[in-house]
A and B are shown apart, each in its own frame.
Chain A
Amino acid sequence: MQRRHRTLPELKAHESAQTISFTDHALACKLTAMGVLPGATIEMIRKAPFGDAFYVKVDGVRLALRTDEAKQILLTV
């Protein structure tokens, strides 16, 4: 069966995708308040030096996310 979505940590550096939804309500609350809405384009910039965090760009806004948080973001394939 073909997968219909992937999560943020699967993106390679400088790869972009559209957000579909968030699997955690509390995080969804925080992200939507910061303007990361379903349908936004999200670009992976780089991983943190010691791992476990990601530097991403959403509509020109720069964000840092933990891996746990990034896994809750579903993206288009």
Chain B
Amino acid sequence: MSNDAQQLRPLKVGLIGNPNSGKSTVFNQLTGLRQKTGNFPGVTVEIKVGSFTLPKGQKVSLIDFPGAYSLYPTSSDEKVLAEVLSNPGDANFPDMLVYIADVTNLEKHLLLFSQILDLQIPAILVLNMMDVAAEEGIRVQTQTLAAKLGVAVVAVSGRTGENIAQLKAQMEQLAGTTPLATKPFYTLTENECSVAEAVKMNFGTENGYRALLIAHHKDWLPFLSVPERAMLTTIQDTKQFQSLRAQVEETMTRFDRFVPIVKSAVQQPSAFPLTFTDRLDGVLTHRFFGPLIFFGIMALVFMCIFYGYEITGGWVEGAMGWLIEQAEALTTPLNMAWLTDFITKGILEGLKGVLVFIPQIALLSLLIALLEESGYLTRVVFMFDRMMQRFGMNGRSIVALIGGGACAVPAIKGTRTITNWKERIITIMVTPFISCSARIPVYMVLIPIALPNAGWWIWAQVFGGMYVLGVVVALLSGWVLKKILRSTEQSFLTLHMPVYRVPHWKNVWLTVVDKVKSFVSGVWKPIIIITSVLWLLSSFGPGDIASKARASAEEEIALGHVPDSLRGDLEASYKLEYSWAGKIGKFIEPAIRPLGYDWKIGIGILSSFLAREVFNSTMYIIYSLESVGKIEEGAAGDQKPFERYSSLKDRMLNDTFRDTHQKIYTPATGLSLLVFYALAMQCMSTLVVVKQETGKWRWAIIQFVFMGAIAYLFAWLTFLAVNAF
């Protein structure tokens, strides 16, 4: 390859290593902010690709593979590596591998390395955590290791950045050379050899170990065709090849070979003293204190998000108010009312819907990154695994469920730490049942309407009850989904719990940036589209709805029921009634009538899709209170939250059905509507994120229908029960 061509085509380097080897830390050291997250094609496994330049100008594209212990994977995360490395035709097949090993535990970290040596891909062995090694008095002869393993060895510290430059230099040196055909690290047994030979003949695979891998993984490797799979099965059967047994034997043989090499090169202080980690775990995973401390920490996280929402929500509100004014000032001279309206009520409203989530996502991912980085989250998995298993989930799901109490969007993004596909899907499906902060304003309006004569003490209890309802339904749905969903993936706990470490600020910061960036980039397009559609529906209708609304308002004012000063509010109300949204509300009225709702609630539910709290502002418009609503809704921080929306409450309580003249808002309707809002999927941001995280709209649609059906059923039962009572 000529020098020019080399400069054009970036060197593809794969970064691999066992979980907790410090891979992500080294990745961050090498690439800094020049990284982006995506998914491996076809699977929901995260791929991070970063770029940087070597000293002499060669561009490098660095692929961060999920941590794996071996090329014999037990989770979908680990499968990615085996899949890519057994197929040189794969788009992500690396030119070179950088292998990160934890030097303080090198004996356990070389299995995967010895396997990639046998695949004859150029590789560098990076001994990470040298700072810890120095502290613990561990001494390493890198030359001895290099000589005995036949590869370049670099000792670094991902935390201090020590020797990262040397690692780059080493990559440059290796990039120019062609790998020598070395003796394999592991010699195939006779049986394995005959299987590998047969695969080589039929598939044109050159490397013997790669051929063996293909035979081992014939059942799931996606690049194999059906006849190829059948042929591999025949090969295995005729050679009487027992895959699992062979894997275990091979692993043990490898350990037998490299453990002496490690022993000769690494001087470790002999005993394992009772460390800080052991003492801390004595408390943090204690039978009583463990769960107690966990709930304490989660309560803190929840409060941070909750107050964060109150504060940052105000900022977003302020910023958007300013933006709307600017937009009005800019577009009004154009004399196109619809344009002003579209920008201020459509686009900017949608933008606000995205913006309010950003501080929440940043804050929640910051807090979770801290817990993850310190090593605490693996203890949580250990403690709660049993409990969550019953409901089809995994110990880590509990973090998502609690995060969902703030906002489902960041909580669902956090489920990436769940490696079992089925457990992760269930967690994603049930998290939105937990009452999030956007439901709070709706509860504040509806609870006093449902129980107008009860005091705030009862109201507060009902408010708490909404959270209990969410948790119970989430767990029950998990239990149901567990019975329905099929998964062939065996679920393991077998979990390595790393030593406790002070979180590294760079890792934490980059995680937060990454989470926010991927949220915004994935979500803004669909949200703008949905917002625009909702705007169109509520601004237009059959015929000239603006003049029809004006006429109706005129008529009503002439009758003397309404003072002239409220003309604007009345017009807005009629306009919404005559719009397509109003038509839809009336159209679906028969469907929601069994729950006790009229068409106005129908419009409210429809517009809530923007974000649940939009229910309130829609109700203000419908009840001709648009201008009052701006004041009442803006009164955040009020001492009596249940009385913040008093004029809306009075107006709604007096409303009657047009046909029967009965009151709409009986306790039955109010409670039924509360249950509906607690359980229905009414948040487009969540749906978009579910699509983003599962890779398919299918799951978002299933979730929408599933939650909607449950909400309808429970609301209906509530309505019937309260009426019978």
Residues of A with Cβ closer than 8 Å to B? 22, 25-35, 37-38, 45-53, 55, 57, 59-66, 69
Contacts and interface: CB of A to CB of B under 8 A. Distances in A.
A30 B74 contact: yes
Contacts of B495: 63-65
B420 to A, nearest CB: 13
A61 B496 contact: yes
Most buried by B among A25, A26, A28, A34: A34
Nearest to B385: A53
B386 A69 contact: no
Given A29-B74, A32-B255, A51-B386, A46 B285 contact: yes
Given A32-B251, A60-B105, A66-B492, 4 more contacts: A33-B72, A34-B69, A61-B496, A63-B497
A35 B258 CA distance: 12
Contact of B251 (A29, A55, A57, A69): A29
A62 B497 contact: yes
A64 B494 contact: yes
B107 A50 contact: no
A63 B33 CA distance: 33
Interface string B697-710: 00000000000000
B108 A34 contact: yes
B108 A30 contact: no
B242 to A, nearest CB: 9
Given A33-B70, A49-B288, A50-B387, A25 B108 contact: no
Interface in B385-407: 385-387, 389
Nearest to B245: A25
B287 interface: yes
B134 interface: no
B281 interface: yes
14 contacts: A26-B74, A30-B494, A32-B251, A33-B72, A33-B251, A46-B285, A47-B287, A49-B285, A53-B493, A55-B382, A62-B496, A64-B494, A69-B493, A69-B494
B105 A50 contact: no
Classify the secondary structure of B's interface with A. helix
B494 A31 contact: yes
B290 interface: yes
Interface residues of B, number: 43
Contacts of A32: 248, 251-252, 255
B374 interface: no
A37 B249 CA distance: 11
Most buried by B among A27, A55, A60, A69: A60
Contacts, number: 118
Contact of B386 (A31, A48, A57): A48
Contacts of A65: 493-495
A46 B105 CA distance: 23
Nearest to A39: B252
B674 to A, nearest CB: 32
A25 B494 contact: no
A35 B254 CA distance: 11
Given A26-B244, A29-B248, A51-B386, A61 B70 contact: no
A49 B111 contact: no
Contacts of B272: 57, 59-60
B385 A52 contact: yes
Given A61-B105, A64-B378, A64-B381, A29 B72 contact: yes
B382 A48 contact: yes
Task: Name the 6 nearest CB pairs between A and B, nearest first.
Answer: A35-B108, A25-B244, A52-B386, A33-B70, A60-B272, A64-B382
Contacts of A25: 244-245, 248
Interface string B92-109: 000000000000010110
B32 interface: no
A55 B493 contact: no
Interface of B: 69-70, 72, 74, 105, 107-108, 111, 244-245, 247-248, 251-252, 255, 272, 277-278, 281, 285-288, 290-291, 378, 381-387, 389, 490, 492-499
Contacts of A47: 287
Given A29-B72, A69-B494, A48 B107 contact: no
B255 A37 contact: yes
Contacts of B245: 25
Contacts of B492: 27, 30, 66, 69
Nearest to B244: A25
A74 B354 CA distance: 54
A69 B384 CA distance: 16
B17 to A, nearest CB: 13
Given A29-B72, A65-B493, A53 B251 contact: no
Contacts of A49: 285-288, 290-291, 383
Most buried by B among A26, A49, A50: A49
A55 B290 CA distance: 13
Nearest to B272: A60
Given A33-B111, A61-B105, A64-B381, A26 B490 contact: yes
Contacts of A59: 107-108, 272
A29 to B, nearest CB: 5
Nearest to A47: B287
A30 B286 CA distance: 27
Contacts of B248: 22, 25, 28-29, 32
A66 B281 CA distance: 18
A25 B494 CA distance: 14
Contacts of A64: 378, 381-382, 385, 493-495, 497
Nearest to A26: B490
Contacts of A35: 107-108, 111, 255
B397 to A, nearest CB: 14
Contacts of B288: 49
Given A26-B244, A51-B386, A63 B496 contact: yes
A66 B383 CA distance: 11
B396 to A, nearest CB: 12
A52 B251 CA distance: 28
Given A32-B248, A37-B252, A55-B281, A63 B494 contact: yes
B383 A48 contact: yes
A55 B490 CA distance: 21
Nearest to B248: A28
Contacts of B278: 45
A50 B69 contact: no
B250 to A, nearest CB: 9
Contacts of A69: 492-494
Nearest to B291: A49
A18 to B, nearest CB: 15
